[in-house]
Structures are given as structure tokens and as C-alpha cells.
Chains A and B, each alone.
Chain A
Amino acid sequence: MSSWIDIAALEDIPPRGARVIRTPQGCVAVFRTGDDRVFALEDRCPHRNGPLSEGIVHGTSVTCPLHNWVISLETGQVGGPGEGTVETYGIRVENGRILLDEARLRRPDAA
């Protein structure tokens, strides 16, 4: 069951940028693409734990700032150079506000 909580305004994140939310499960990166879609992913690259929120956002991907692994914002799948998956979270925009599905975050072992 979903429970959407209001996190911030869409404008609080720069286009092709990201911000971080602190949660009991660790940091979640909230991305905004060039065409104003939002995605929430675990802020941790499966390679060496790089903060994905500091990467360059292009199309619907982000490149990890530490060693350039490219991760799909839609699926959390690593597209290269290595393999792996990043946890994704429910998120949407409504009336210019970013809403996050809190239910997933409350689960002790979300990841």
C-alpha cells in the first residue's frame, strides 16, 4: 500500500540535476530530468558506493561521479561498464510538488 508524502517543490531540484533525501534506509537521490520527470534511487553506486546524486544526468540515465558507471533512472539497472542494480523508489510530481512513496522507506529491509 502506497502512502505519498510531500517532499519538496519540483523547482528545488535543478533540471538535469539531483538532490538527496535522508531516510532510515540511507540516502535516496531524487533526480529531475531535462524534460521534468523525477526518479528516486538509492544514492549509492553498486560499484564503489559513489553518490549518484552528484553524477551527470543525461536522458534518463545518471553517470556515477566516481568511476563513470551509467545507471538507468527508470530501472536502476547498470548499463555499463559493470553490472548491478540500484534500488528504486516510488515517486511522482503532482501540481509542481514531488511526492515520495513513504511505505517503501519505512520497511526495515527495503533494499
Chain B
Amino acid sequence: MAKKLVVIGAGMASGRLLEELEPGRFDITLFGAEPRGNYNRILLTPVLAGEREFEEIVTHDDAWYRRRGIATRFGEPVLRIDRRQKRVITARGATPYDKLVIATGSASFFIPVQGNDLPGVVGFRDLDDVEQMRAAARAGGRAVVIGGGLLGLEAAAALHRQGMEVTVLHLMEHLMERQLDPAAGYLLQKEFEGRGIRVVCKAHTTAILGKERAEAVLLEDGALFPADLVVMAAGIRPETRLATEAGIRVERGIWVDDAMRTSAEDIHALGECAEHAGVVYGLVAPLFDMAEVLAKTLRGEEAAFVPPVVSTRLKVSGVDLFSAGDFSEGAGREEIVFRDPARGIYRRLVVEDARISGIVMYGETADSGWFFDKLKSGEDISAIRERLIFGPAFQGSGETDPLASVRALSAEAEICGCNGVCKGEIVEAIRAGAGDLAAVRERTGASASCGSCTGLVERLLAATLGTEAAPPAPAGICPCTDHGHQDIRRLIRARALKSIPAVMQEMGWKTSCGCHICRPALNYYLLCEWPLEYADDAQSRLVNERNHANIQKDGTYSVVPRMWGGITTPAELRAIADAAEKYDVPTVHITGGQRIDLLGVKKEDLPAIWADLNAAGLVSGHAYAKGLRTVKTCVGSEHCRFGTRDSTGLGIRLEKVLWGSWTPHKVKMAVSGCPRNCAEATCKDLGVVCVESGYQVSVAGAAGMEVKQTEPLATVETEEEVIELACAFLQLYRESADYLDRPYKWVAKVGMDWVIERVVTDRESRAALVRRFEISQSVHRRDPWAELARPESRPRSWSPLADLTTEAAE
């Protein structure tokens, strides 16, 4: 007859233990205080955020227990353990055991302040907590989360997503202080604040106020935070009551030895309630290790739990952070730090005795596996110390092999951003027989969405299969290189290349300084990728963008001041007329983009004519730029009897937000006030047609060498949403198009579905695009002539180096 095994607690650790025990070995009874079986507690966050339903996170259902012959007693808390008679007592009686496992987990730590027991104050441990929070979120209002650790931040982000106004109160100086150092904590705080979640650090809660239910949280300094919901996420407390009362040894948790035995015979403990070698674990990986050890112990096999090095990731979509090991400062410890403020990237390695002892990564964690391996293996890193921080991609030396760049990437390096496919998966698929691009796409999904990583996947095929079987590498963008546009963009990002010489060096350019095709493209890619760091290279600009004017066939230039949304004033017209006369402008022309073109201006007059125009408040129209040209409008509801909305006002707003940005090719927009479409919005790169119910935003039209109607992007209700969509669309175009592809060509390559997904459907993606656009615009939203036209800063290069005509005449 099988021995009786009683398990108290139906959490993740006990769930794994039950899986490990072969059916029939024990006669098992499982008690759970919650009225439900084992589920994946880690995924409570997505349930709270509304991204998943509870049913999806159940790990063991009734059928499973039945199959395994496990008797379940859910919703029946164990009241005490009777060690002498070897039985556990519940409200319904006694159950005998031969072996007992305590897996009672932990409970939220409710900070001991007045009001912590009011209705509306919840922990974040189980489904009941989540259901209370979701109910509160449905009613809207304000939530205060006490605790800025892993759990608190996940709860805060989820509640924010559910539409609540959220404040996080954190006792320590920076968020997640157990896992992150101050710098990464700061970036994390910035990210949360950027989403609209308020974060207060060094917040000492003194009371939760309220009569019937929680209404506000009071801090020691007197600050008061109104709250409809208070979430206690200040820590967890191992649930040890049963053990303590049974006289079993309890420290912070229930003491266990290496074999997961407690101080009492035939009684074991595991999970968050257990303490091994002075440590209580809260992350799932070590708990699963414990379950495996205990299963062996119960079978009578030798087994010992080895304290693992644990790593942390935060389960908040859009937040990428990783930490592992010990990263506090100390004697004999050195640190290697890498920061990239523009992209919000921070990396810190703590090195002790030539070995990595701690890792903190924020913003970009693709290489975390590579670093974590080195930490766990204790590898001596002296030989690669100098380049270590840049990750595996940077460990190769000078290369001539075109495949070296992909070889240098780690197995964890993400190749396909759309489908989250890393190099290792692709290589594995190729080794398993995926011999061409189509097969790799089918098996891994890599390059199957937007296709921008196709070049890299092809190189991986070549590198993995050997050169005989290598498919032809994609054609280079010019004779100076074998790399295509998308390869270049990706490698600039992956290898953090920040200057034209760096790109040429690292990607093996075949010429010393490129040519008129690659240099402007590289200049644009670097400018787009590193907006705050990269210094624009005037000598890699084509003439128009270097001189901020359009060169004409006779070497003179045209001058086009911006007319926001096609609106001008008598004063502006007077200033333009005066300038035209003063500088002998031979031709004054009205452009198709609703502004005035002064043609035939001599190069040396450009700074002076712009000084005059600037003085009248006119700024560059960027009529020469691969950037935003015009936003054409009709007069809309302000004047037109058919106009449904203020198309002119919206056009002006759009132009003021978007102007100055550099793009892969020129961008033209229009806003029409009604479907009669007088502004011809449906053949622009982005067009808006106002209708009674809102704004129809469409993109990827053309009216040049090709004529093409726009394709619908989305219909929205407010001007703000139009602007958000326009920013996100423009940024996606900026980040992913080949240089000199107009939006319609780019969309044809990546597919409209992908664009809609990134810009419209996936709100996180949209918000991130808008955020990156704003970072870029903080540099570029300005008039180049404001600087160039100032007499004291006018570069001498506008006028001839020397004039020998007078001398020669003498």
C-alpha cells in the first residue's frame, strides 16, 4: 500500500513537485486555502493588465488531478499539524500522513500602519487580490501602490493599463533597489513617469485614511495621496504559522536542509515559505529546483539543493531590464559602465578577480544571456575586458569576412524584432534542415513580418551552411560595400556604431571615405539612430541640404519660406516682396505646396536674404530636404460651407509638430476639411480627410513619377490622435525605410498590415515611436537659418575663397 503524502498549499512549487512524483507512488492529498487548484502565479500580472484570462494561466486542472489520482481539498485551509499522531487538521476533520510537505508560500506584507485593514486595501498574491483590483479598475479612479519593487511596479503598470491613475510610493531612494543600482532605477522611474505613472521615492507611509474604506495614503512629510485602491506591495512574508505552532524550526522561513527536510521527521517544506542556508527565495526558478530536490528526497534518493544565482526581469511590456548577481560596490570590485542616454540604455558589469560578479542591464537586454553565462561559469574575462561591455557582437577583431558581422552576434542576439526571433533559433532551424530563406521563415517566423532583417537571415544561412551553399548576399547599396540598407541600419544599432568612419571600419567598406551614394545614407541612418549624439556631417550632405536651399540648373538657388498649413499674412507677404526686390530675385513662383518660391538667388546672398526673412518671423520651408515639406490644407470649417472640421488649424498643428525632422526621403502631407478633398490629401505621403465623425488618416500615396492613392491607416476622433498617428508613422518610416525610398515604396516593401500593427493596433509600440520621435525632434525641430544667417556665425564658405578677377584686371 502506497504511503500517504499530504501537501499543504497549491502553489507553483507544490505543482512542480506533484508533476515530479510518478503516479501511484504515493497516496496524495492536496490541501489549498484558495478555492482553486494550481495556477501560474507569475502570470497574475498579465491577468491584472487584462492581457490574459485566468483560465489561460491554470497549470493543473481537475482532470489532471484525477488522472494522477490526487485527492484535492481546495478552499479547505489546514488549521494545524498534529505531529504526534501524524495528521493535519482542517475544519472538516483530520487527515493522516506518512510524509508531509508544507508549501504554504507567502503572504503580502501589510505595513503596520493605521488603516491597513480597511476595505480597498489589497495585497498582490492571488487571484482574489487580482479580482478585487480589476473590479476597482473597472470603476476607474486612483490607485496608490505601496512598494516600488518587482511586484509593485508590475501591479502599477497593469492598473495603469486598466485605466487607473496610478501613484507608486517607494520607501527607498530608487525603484527595485534589491535588483537595480541607482542609475538603472532612475531610468526605470523615468520610463514609468513617461507613461503617466507617478513615482515617489523615499516615501514613508504613516497611515491609510478613510472611514468606510480606504480614501487616501498619508506620508510622514504630510503629503496626501487620494486613493480608491491601495495595493500593498511592500514585500512578502513567508507563511510559517503552521510550522511555528507545530514546534518546527522557523527562522525567517521554515528552516530546511539541503534535502528539503525540516527539523521535524517526515515533514518537508519548499517554496517561498522555506528558508535554505539563510535565504528565502521569491523567484520561480529556485523554487522549481527545490521541487526537483524534494521529489528525489521523497523517493529516498540522494539530492541536494544548490543555491542558484538568480536573475531578474520585470514583466512589464516595453520595459527591458535584467539584473543578476551582486552588483554592490566594494573593495576589489571594479565596474564597467556603458550608457546611451538617447536610447535610454544602461549597462553595468561588476568585475571581481577577473570574473563577472554582477550584471545590471536596462533598456536593451538582448545580450543578457551571454553575460549571465559568464557570471555563472566564472569565466576569466581578463583577455576580453576592454570590449566586454559591448557584448558578444563586439568581440571579433578587424574583419574582412563579410559574414563576420553576423558570426560575432550572440545566439541570444535578436535578429527579427517583429517576431522576437534570436540568432540561436535561426541557426538551429538551419541546422535542422531549413536550407533557404522561405524555410527559415516558416519555421522560426524570422523576417516573415516586416522583412527588414531578410539580409541578416540570408547571411546567417550563408554563415551556417558554409560558403558553397551560400545564397548570394544582398547587393550593397553602392560599390563601396556589400551591405544592403537594412543590414547597415541593423548593424549600426546592434553594434552601437556612431560615426561614418566607425561604420565604414566595422562593416569593411571597400573605399576610404565612401561615395555620393553611401555617405548621405550613412549620415541619415546615424542621425536617425543617435539623435542626441551624432554630429551631422555637412560634407556628407547633398548640396541642397548642406546649403539649406535648392540648387537650380544655373547654380543659383531657390528660397522657400515656410507657410504653416498654407496660411500667410500681409506682413509676411510684404517681407517676401521686399526680399525679392532687394536681392534681385528674377522669378517669384507659387508652389504646389501652398507657399512662395524665390528662384535665382546667388549662393553668397543666401545668409543675408534669410536674415531678412527671419526678421519677419519666416523660417525655412525645408523645400530642399529629405524631411517634412508641406502640410497642404483647405480652409475647412472656418470658412467653407462644406467643411466639417478645422482642417487648416489641424494642418498648422501637424506642421509645427513635424517640421525639421529628417526622413529617408521627402514627406508631403495634406488635410482636407471634407470628402471633396480640395487639399488632395489622398495622394500624399500622409493625408487626413475630415468627416463628421472624425478624421480619416491614410498614408503611402504618391503623385510623382508614380501616381497612387493613399491606403487607410485609421479613423480617429480627435486632432490629438491624428498628431500621435502622424508622429508614430513618420518615426516608423524614419527608423525602418531604406534611404531614398518614399513612404509609398517603403510601405510596399514592409506591408500595410505591419505598419498598422506598429502604428495603430499596438499601443505600446505607438507610444514608443512617438517618444523616440520627440527625442529626435528635441534636436531637429528648429530653423537652420536661425544659426546660419546670424552675421557673426555666418560661415565664410558662402562666399568665394578669393577673387582674382579684380587683380587680373589691373
Give B83 Cβ to nearest chain A Cβ, in Å: 84
Chain B residues numbered 408-433 whose CB sits less than 8 Å from any CB in chain A: none
Interchain CB contact (< 8 A) of A56 among B519, B547, B800:
B519
- Contact of A105 with B513 in the complex, beta carbons under 8 Å: no
Cβ of A102: which chain B residues have Cβ within 8 Å of it?
Answer: 804
Q: Is A76 an interface residue (CB 8 A)?
A: no
- Contact of A24 with B800 in the complex, beta carbons under 8 Å: no
- Contact of A58 with B797 in the complex, beta carbons under 8 Å: no
> Which of B146-154, B536-544, B585-593 forms part of the interface with chain A?
B536-544
Q: Is B385 an interface residue (CB 8 A)?
A: no
Query: How many angstroms from the CA of A102 to the CA of B539 in the assembled complex?
Result: 28
Cβ of A51: which chain B residues have Cβ within 8 Å of it?
Answer: 551, 555
- Contact of B519 with A58 in the complex, beta carbons under 8 Å: yes
Give A83 Cβ to nearest chain B Cβ, in Å: 19
- Contact of B808 with A21 in the complex, beta carbons under 8 Å: no
Interchain CB contact (< 8 A) of B539 among A7, A17, A59:
A17
- Contact of B514 with A106 in the complex, beta carbons under 8 Å: no
Give B454 Cβ to nearest chain A Cβ, in Å: 28
Query: How many angstroms from the CA of A55 to the CA of B544 in the assembled complex?
Result: 10
Cβ of B803: which chain A residues have Cβ within 8 Å of it?
Answer: 21-22
Query: How many angstroms from the CA of A30 to the CA of B802 in the assembled complex?
Result: 10
CB nearest neighbor in A for B552: A66
Chain B residues numbered 500-539 whose CB sits less than 8 Å from any CB in chain A: 511-516, 519-520, 538-539
Interchain CB contact (< 8 A) of A8 among B516, B540, B802:
B802
Query: How many angstroms from the CA of A15 to the CA of B797 in the assembled complex?
Result: 13
- Contact of A23 with B805 in the complex, beta carbons under 8 Å: yes
- Contact of A34 with B802 in the complex, beta carbons under 8 Å: no
CB nearest neighbor in A for B538: A14
Q: Given A21-B800, A58-B514, A106 and B808 touching (CB < 8 A)?
A: yes
Give A51 Cβ to nearest chain B Cβ, in Å: 4
- Contact of A21 with B514 in the complex, beta carbons under 8 Å: no
Q: Given A58-B511, A59-B513, A105 and B797 touching (CB < 8 A)?
A: no
Give B668 Cβ to nearest chain A Cβ, in Å: 23
- Contact of B801 with A55 in the complex, beta carbons under 8 Å: no
CB nearest neighbor in B for A67: B553
Query: How many angstroms from the CA of A65 to the CA of B516 in the assembled complex?
Result: 9
- Contact of B516 with A58 in the complex, beta carbons under 8 Å: yes
Cβ of B802: which chain A residues have Cβ within 8 Å of it?
Answer: 7-8, 21-22
A-contact 0/1 string along B551-562, CB 8 Å cutoff: 101110000000
Q: Given A54-B551, A56-B540, A58-B513, A7 and B801 touching (CB < 8 A)?
A: yes
- Contact of B805 with A65 in the complex, beta carbons under 8 Å: no
Interchain CB contact (< 8 A) of A20 among B513, B546, B801, B808:
B801
Query: How many angstroms from the CA of A49 to the CA of B547 in the assembled complex?
Result: 19
Query: How many angstroms from the CA of A66 to the CA of B803 in the assembled complex?
Result: 24
Q: Given A20-B801, A56-B516, A106-B808, A12 and B796 touching (CB < 8 A)?
A: yes
Chain A residues numbered 28-58 whose CB sits less than 8 Å from any CB in chain B: 30, 34-35, 48-51, 54-58
Cβ of B383: which chain A residues have Cβ within 8 Å of it?
Answer: none
CB nearest neighbor in B for A50: B555
Q: Is B384 an interface residue (CB 8 A)?
A: no
Give A42 Cβ to nearest chain B Cβ, in Å: 13
Cβ of B797: which chain A residues have Cβ within 8 Å of it?
Answer: 14, 17, 19
- Contact of A48 with B553 in the complex, beta carbons under 8 Å: yes
Q: Is B809 an interface residue (CB 8 A)?
A: yes
Cβ of B546: which chain A residues have Cβ within 8 Å of it?
Answer: 54
| Centre residue among B511, B553, B801 by max chain A CB count within 10 A | B801
Cβ of A19: which chain B residues have Cβ within 8 Å of it?
Answer: 797, 800-801
Q: Is A68 an interface residue (CB 8 A)?
A: yes
- Contact-size category for B: 20 to 34
Interface size on A, residues (CB 8 A): 37
- Contact of A56 with B808 in the complex, beta carbons under 8 Å: no
Cβ of A22: which chain B residues have Cβ within 8 Å of it?
Answer: 800, 802-805
Cβ of A21: which chain B residues have Cβ within 8 Å of it?
Answer: 800-804
- Contact of A63 with B555 in the complex, beta carbons under 8 Å: no
Cβ of B540: which chain A residues have Cβ within 8 Å of it?
Answer: 16, 56
- Contact of B801 with A30 in the complex, beta carbons under 8 Å: yes
Q: Is A13 an interface residue (CB 8 A)?
A: yes
Give B376 Cβ to nearest chain A Cβ, in Å: 47
Q: Given A12-B801, A22-B805, A63 and B539 touching (CB < 8 A)?
A: no
Cβ of B543: which chain A residues have Cβ within 8 Å of it?
Answer: 54-55, 65
- Contact of B801 with A57 in the complex, beta carbons under 8 Å: no
Give B63 Cβ to nearest chain A Cβ, in Å: 71
Query: How many angstroms from the CA of A14 to the CA of B512 in the assembled complex?
Result: 17
- Contact of A66 with B553 in the complex, beta carbons under 8 Å: yes
A-contact 0/1 string along B775-803, CB 8 Å cutoff: 00000000000000000000011001111
Query: How many angstroms from the CA of A14 to the CA of B546 in the assembled complex?
Result: 13
Give B325 Cβ to nearest chain A Cβ, in Å: 46
Query: How many angstroms from the CA of A19 to the CA of B539 in the assembled complex?
Result: 12
Give A55 Cβ to nearest chain B Cβ, in Å: 7
Cβ of A24: which chain B residues have Cβ within 8 Å of it?
Answer: 804-805, 808-809
Cβ of A8: which chain B residues have Cβ within 8 Å of it?
Answer: 801-802
Give B319 Cβ to nearest chain A Cβ, in Å: 42
CB nearest neighbor in B for A7: B802
Give B521 Cβ to nearest chain A Cβ, in Å: 12
CB nearest neighbor in B for A68: B516
Query: How many angstroms from the CA of A49 to the CA of B554 in the assembled complex?
Result: 7
Query: How many angstroms from the CA of A34 to the CA of B804 in the assembled complex?
Result: 26
Query: How many angstroms from the CA of A45 to the CA of B516 in the assembled complex?
Result: 16
Give B69 Cβ to nearest chain A Cβ, in Å: 78
| Centre residue among B540, B547, B805 by max chain A CB count within 10 A | B805
Give B535 Cβ to nearest chain A Cβ, in Å: 13
Cβ of A54: which chain B residues have Cβ within 8 Å of it?
Answer: 543, 546-547, 551, 555
Interchain CB contact (< 8 A) of B551 among A27, A63, A65:
A65
> What 12 new A-B contacts, CB under 8 Å, besides A16-B540, A106-B808?
A14-B539, A15-B539, A17-B539, A17-B797, A21-B803, A34-B513, A51-B555, A56-B519, A56-B520, A56-B542, A58-B513, A65-B543
- Which are the 10 A-B pairs with shortest beta-carbon distances? A63-B516, A19-B801, A65-B543, A56-B516, A54-B543, A16-B539, A24-B808, A22-B803, A51-B555, A23-B804
**Can you name 21 A-B residue pairings with CB atoms under 8 Å?**
A8-B802, A14-B538, A19-B797, A20-B800, A20-B801, A21-B803, A22-B805, A23-B808, A24-B805, A27-B800, A30-B801, A34-B512, A54-B543, A54-B546, A58-B511, A59-B512, A59-B513, A65-B551, A70-B516, A105-B804, A105-B808
